[in-house]
Structure 1
Amino acid sequence: MIKKDLLSFLGISLLCVLGNSKTLGQEPVRPTIQQVSFPKDTTHIASFGAKGDGQFLNTEAINSAIAECNKKGGGVVHIPAGLWLTGPIELKSNVNLHVGRDAVLLFTSDFNEYKLVESNWEGEPSWRNQSPISGRNLENIGITGKGIIDGNGAAWRMVKKSKLTESQWKKLIESGGVLDEKQEIWYPSIGSLKGSKQKKPGLMKPGTQASDFQEVKDFLRPNLLQLTNCKKILLEGVTIQNSPAWNLHPLMCEDLTLRDLLVLNPWYAQNGDGVDVESCRNVLIEDCTFDVGDDGICIKSGRDKAGRDRGMPTENVIIRNNIVYHAHGGFVIGSEMSGGARNIWVEDCSFIGTDIGLRFKTTRGRGGVVENIFIKNINMFDIPGEAILFDMYYMAVDPVPLAGEKKETVKVVKLPVTEETPSFKNFTIENVHVHGADKGIFLRGLPEMNIQNISITNVNIQAKKGIDIIESSGITLNKIRLKTEESNPLLYVHNGKDIHINGLSSVNPVEKLIQVSGEESVNIKIQGNEIKQLNKQKEFINNASESALTIQ
């Protein structure tokens, strides 16, 4: 039997009801996340013929153990010390897959072991290779322990030459695979390269079936853990790493707890997200550490029409006491947020070296409403991009350009508001401390749908550049302390409406306090300004009216 302390979580329920904080309007009641409970019976995979020698393929043995445990009414399936090579594992209700401290669960690089299945990719129904670990329509499931789950993702992923050293690139080419025409991207096979040339390969359309995608099967990388329409889930303690695509993807799940996880992917891993919580409700993510190749902790709810038709927002989420190292974003919403997101609390987290700290992204065509987001007590260090970013012109490129790359200038045009128009509103951000970023705060809405009602309070930022507010309304900045290398201007506002800035201070002398742009800028107020050394206080460009700004 497993030691009693390894099962200490059994039967415990967690009430995540915490105190309210001062916000824009009434803060919703925090959710109660229901917890798992398993019988104490333990099933040993060795009893089903499993061998932990790194050579024997244990797919049948592990799945048989899980099925038998489920058949008996549930319990624990124990993965003991050893190197356990396996193909795809399918979870069952009332089963806790417990990976021991000295156990490594390694998924095979033999693509033939992964069949094409009906799945979901970036918010749309798609044919994908079966995930290494999956479950559908289950209840009361767990993956626990202190062992390692490795998706063998290097066998699946394409790699850009620009992201490797010369010697690493040479070694990769020598391992096999093929290069694209420009000799800049390595693919593990010809099928993977062919898939890269197709628009949305694997997308499920009427009349298509799995056999239609066999030629590009290698390109249809799976997420390491895919849970769909499941209830009462616990992921605790394990290291989850080296995924072919996203590491963790709970989809349309309820009562989900992620606790004390270590989630890893190489920094260059394309689509190597940490966790993507999609169209889920009642979620707790706490005491986890992420170091990955794409977004760290990400909230999604489907893409474009598919997400709107699903109509399931991600809601009632508590994220606390987490650390994110390398990632495109520390805490992220979008860009596939077409079903909406609401009632989310993010607290006491640190982002170390993430490309962007707080990252909220969308684009025309998505639709969806993101609202009631409450964030406080965030630390950031060594952020190459923006510390706080809202961007409604997301273009699906790396947030920080690589050497030789340039971001394209956005062409601004006002379009009619339709169901395809996304919305960001009602965010409260408090107590953020940033040491090192390219830009402090960047807000960019659409002319037809501004970013609305954002309150940012008690923020200390050391960054190269200050604050941009573009096509945004109802923005309140309170107690903002900046230390910037560039201050021409410190604040830039374009077509901003009802912008209130209270208690702004700068450690450095400021060349220009504010530049106001656009004829739609109106009711911009700066109060309690503590900046004493100014060469030039304000400037108006692009038909902005001087009456739009009041400095007191």
Structure 2
Amino acid sequence: MAECWLILLILQDEKYWPLMPPLPSYGYGREHIGPRYGSLIHGQNLRDVVITGHNGTINGQGQTWWKKYRQKLLNHTRGPLVQIMWSRDIVISNITLRDSPFWTLHPYDCKNVTIRNVTILAPVHDAPNTDGIDPDSCEDMLIEDCYISVGDDGIAIKSGWDQYGIAYRQPSKNIRIRNVVLQSMVSAGISIGSEMSGGVSGVTVENVVVWNSRRGVRIKTAPGRGGYVQDISYHNLTLDVVRVGIVIKTDYNEHPDEGYDPKAVPVLKDISFTSIHGQGVRVPVRMHGSEEIPVRNVTFRDMSVGITYKKKHIFQCAFVYGRVIGTIFPAPCDNLDRYDEQERLVKRSAAQNATDIDYDF
């Protein structure tokens, strides 16, 4: 018996699309003040929802939307292909999502979400803002065994924009990303931010390949965001032909309106990179904190990235403080302290011996 794959096509004429209120943690429609277009698949206040199939395809037919966006012919913000809001216990698996008008898969203020065996596709050029998966103010989330090749960030973890995200106060936390292959010629394989004003913490990224991309992994923020990015762990990351491997950027100055507080500066700390490998990388690390937004307690452990050509300062740091452990290639910047693993073990043993002494007074 022949197998049949379902292809669901989205309408391309925006006049048939309902308008929805702006997201409360963004203040307005992200591209235009006021309402935003709805999504092909949209749900609110749901529980125990499964979206799955035998790798059937949901096709957003985004070409018309992208063209009108570039020509400034749209009066409202484009909608994601799939958006689930204020829901919990969600499973999305074994489907292909392609050519979204805007962000592809957008869980918003959800809990206990699993995204597994999902393929997300869009042209790597000329498909503006077609992020793959955007966990936004979400808690307890797993993304695994996915393939993503899109025209913006492959995965972008968010939690609201400037004063609106600060007021909404819903962080993204406890998110695990593993066994994922990503391509992004325009942005990054995995990003945190830039809209992170509600805070992002407890993110683990492991066993991830980023290939033929502009950037590997990136954290992006700016004065006015507030919030924090902390307790972030990258483990077993492979960079294959990537312009810049690891990026931390603190001047991503795009704001919803003039009402943001420039003194609301984010906190960046407790970020670790372990077992980072790859080849064909132009700049392995570019971490630019600032005097008002320093990056603290960054750890690099066991890194070897093949570079495309010899150049000084290809491991770039500014206002970044932390340490390196084990073998690091290329050579790290000077303001990261070298920390010998054997010395740590010796000190730990000495401390343990000291606590074992029986003092008899």
Which TM-score tier does this pair reach, normalised by the shorter chain? 0.7 to 0.9
Partner residue, 1:404: none
Deviation at 1:272, TM superposition (A): 0.9
Say which structure, 1 or 2, has more relative contact order (CA 8 Å, 6+ apart): 2
- Distance (Å, rounded) in 2 between the aligned partners of 1:427 and 1:305: 25
Alignment check: 8 A CA contact 1:417 1:448 kept = no
The answer (yes or no) to whether the contact 1:477–1:501 under 8 Å persists in 2 is yes
Q: CA deviation at 1:475?
A: 3.7
Q: Does the aligned pair in 2 maintain the 1:417–1:449 contact within 8 Å?
A: no
Give the drift of 1:149: 0.2
TM-fit CA distance, 1:449 = 2.6
Q: SS state of the match for residue 8, structure 2?
A: strand
Residues 320-469 of structure 1: matches in 2 within 5 Å?
320-327=178-185, 328-384=187-243, 386-395=244-253, 418=263, 420-463=264-307, 464=309, 465=311, 466-469=314-317
For the aligned residue pairs, the C-alpha RMSD in angstroms reads 2.2
Alignment: residue pair count: 321
- Secondary structure of the 2:164 match is helix
Distance 1:393 1:478, change over 3 A: farther
Instruction: For 1:201-220, list aligned pairs within 5 A.
Output: 216-217=75-76, 220=77
> Is 1:112–2:18 an aligned residue pair?
no
In structure 2, runs of 5+ residues without a counterpart are 30-34, 255-260, 341-361
Partner of 1:514: none
- Taking a change above 3 Å as real, the CA distance of residues 367 and 101 of structure 1, as seen in their structure-2 partners, is farther
* Structure 2 Cα separation of the partners of residues 271 and 231 of structure 1: 26
- Percent identical among aligned pairs is 31
User: How far apart are 1:438 and its partner, in Å?
Assistant: 1.8
Describe the SS at the equivalent of 1:308.
Answer: helix
Match of 1:148 among 45, 57, 67: 57
TM-score scaled by structure 2?
Answer: 0.84
- 3-state SS, counterpart of residue 223 of structure 2: coil
TM score, norm. by length of structure 1: 0.55
1:152-205 alpha-carbon deviations (Å, 9 max, x no partner): 1111113xxxxxxxxxxxxxxxxxx7xxxxxxx952xxxx33x5xxxxxxxxxx
**How far off its partner does 1:468 sit?**
1.1
Q: 1:492 to 1:344 in 2, by over 3 A?
A: closer
* Counterpart in the other structure of 1:33: none
Change (3 A) 1:254 1:424: same
User: 1:226 maps to what in 2?
Assistant: 83
1:292/1:393 CA distance change after superposition, 3 Å: same
Show the 5 A alignment for 1:13-412. 101-120=4-23, 123-126=26-29, 127-145=35-53, 146-158=55-67, 186-187=70-71, 192-193=72-73, 216-217=75-76, 220-268=77-125, 269-327=127-185, 328-384=187-243, 386-395=244-253
1:377 CA displacement: 0.6
Amino acid at match of 1:154: Q
Partners of 1:292 and 1:121 lie apart in 2 by 27
Code of the residue aligned with 2:66 in structure 1: it is R
Distance 1:147 1:301 in 2: 30
Distance in 2 between residues matched to 1:186 and 1:346, nearest whole Å: 33
1:238-292 Cα distance to aligned partner (Å, 9 max, x none): 0001100000111100010000000011112111100110000000000000000
Higher strand proportion, which one?
A: 2
| 2:359 aligned partner | none
Match of 2:290, SS state, is coil
CA contact (8 A) 2:25 2:165 kept: no
Q: 2:322 aligns with which of 474, 477, 501?
A: 474
Give unmatched runs, 5+ long, in structure 1: 1-80, 82-99, 159-176, 178-184, 196-215, 397-415, 483-489, 504-552
Whether the 8 Å contact between 2:25 and 2:159 is mirrored in structure 1 is: no
